[in-house]
Amino acid sequence: MNNAIPVQNVYYLFLYAWNKFQEGKSLNLNLEESPDIPNLFSNILTNSVKRLIKRGLHKDYRTITKELKYIKGKINFPLSIKNNFEKSGKIVCELDELSIDCIPNKIIKRTLQYLLTNKEIESKTKQNIKPILKYLDDCNPTESVSSYFGQLRLTNNNYYYKFALNLCSLINKIQLPTNDKGTFLFKDVLEDETIMSDIFETFLRNFYTIEQNQYEVSRDKLKWDISSQGGDIGLVPVNITDITLRSSNKTIVIDAKYYKDPLVLYRGKKKIRQEHLRQITSYLDNLEKRGGPDSTAEGMLIYPEVKHQQKLHETYTWKKHKVSIHSIDLNQPWQKIHRDLFGLVGLM
């Protein structure tokens, strides 16, 4: 993949993917101060947590145990007896109190602690992190970030943490431990096809959802033309489109593909990947049965452009469907990316 994607474009890519474009832009970051992606995400997280602190850190009830001269909450009889309450005059009680020592804050604090030990984070960024940690003194994470994410439950009360938690999740996924105990480096997230495939797909879907109103944007669940002859039909996977655009007279099915090598060599010549063509044509074949604009739907494969392979803007006809393959240059100014994505689906 081309590593020269501007930091601002990477930022916008993730904002759309997380459906937090307006919130992210409102942080008013000076993106030029972030020389690379690790420092970019660290600076974004720092600014996002500052906003959480200003709004008020989320608190959850937790059970604490106290020895009191009066009864409050629930009496812990075994401990009270063990501590000889008749002689001491004190009862051991279990109380529920609001505390910032809760899962969302533990994820944030642990992530910030990791960033302080990351060798790629600039000292200026680390200096900005240290004052924030003081607001989290009463939060005591003892487990890993991934462990806490397994326990995380977002509700209406803490949903305003979503953006910061997305950042923490990403930072956790791309951190690599070094040979020096307790220190970390970042792997290149743009080279990670597993992470970026999901980001690229969701970016495209949310971009078209947010930026235009000519098409309705959805994901279609398509039924396989298959029936059980004694086999477990539940084992058959669901066939879901990445992005379906619909207007009153037109349907476009888009399959987003994030690959370092969109084309593959076959007998010495570059070819479109067979499995990608089969996938997009299977969607079109399925949609034919629905009638209306779906019966002549267009299929489109979209890749990020890579510098070591040719630009892709190829159009074909399959049965009665238009099928096109395109690559998007993510290195150009964002306004041009916006224009190109509009142009692919016939928007001006």
Q: Give the domain ranges of the chain.
A: 7-59+101-191, 60-99, 197-344
SS (H, E, C) the chain: CCCCCCHHHHHHHHHHHCCCHHHHHCCCCCHHHCCCHHHHHHHHHHHHHHHHHHHCCCCEEEEEEEEECCCCCEECHHHHHHCCHHHHCCEEEEEEEEECCCHHHHHHHHHHHHHHCECCCCHHHHHHHHHHHHCCCCCCCCCCHHHHHHHCCCCCCCHHHHHHHHHHHHHHHHEEECCCCCCEEECCHHHCHHHHHHHHHHHHHHHHHHHCCCCEEECCEECCCCCCCCCCHHHCCCEECCEEEECCCCEEEEEECCCCCCEEEECCEEEECHHHHHHHHHHHHHHHHHCHHHHHCEEEEEEECCCCCCCCEEEEEECCEEEEEEEECCCCCHHHHHHHHHHHCCCC
Identify the CA nearest to 201 among candidates 212, 216, 217.
217
Are the beta carbons of 174 and 156 closer than 8 angstroms? no
Q: What's the confidence (pLDDT) of residue 10?
A: 87
Q: Are strands 175-177 and 74-75 parallel, antiparallel or unpaired?
A: unpaired
Q: State the pLDDT at residue 184.
A: 60
204, 341 in Cβ contact below 8 A? Answer: yes
Q: Which one-letter amino acid corresponds to residue 130?
A: K
Tokens of residue 73, six digits: 């909450």
Q: How far is CA 200 from CA 22, 190, 225, 329, in A?
A: 18, 10, 29, 13
Residues forming beta bridges with residue 263, ordered by sequence position: 272
Name the residue among 47, 23, 41 with its Cα closest to residue 171: 41
Q: What is the C-alpha to C-alpha distance for residues 314 and 265, in angstroms, rounded to an integer?
A: 17
- Which class for 257: exposed (0-12), middle (13-18), buried (19 or more C-beta within 10 A)? buried
And the tokens for 262?
């969109």
For strands 251-256 and 298-304, give the pairing.
parallel
Residue ranges of the chain with pLDDT lower than 70? Answer: 1-4, 25-26, 28-33, 69, 177-187, 308-309
CATH number of 197-344: 3.40.1350
- In degrees and rounded to multiples of 5, residue 327 shows phi and psi of -120, 140
Among the listed residues 122, 136, 157, 176, the one whose alpha carbon sits nearest the alpha carbon of residue 49 = 136
The predicted pLDDT at position 4 comes to 66
Cα 269 to Cα 108: distance, rounded to the nearest angstrom: 49
What is the model's pTM?
Answer: 0.78
First to last CA, the chain: 29
Pairing outcome for strands 239-240 and 221-222: antiparallel
AA identity, residue 102: C
Token pair of 277 as six digits: 């063509």
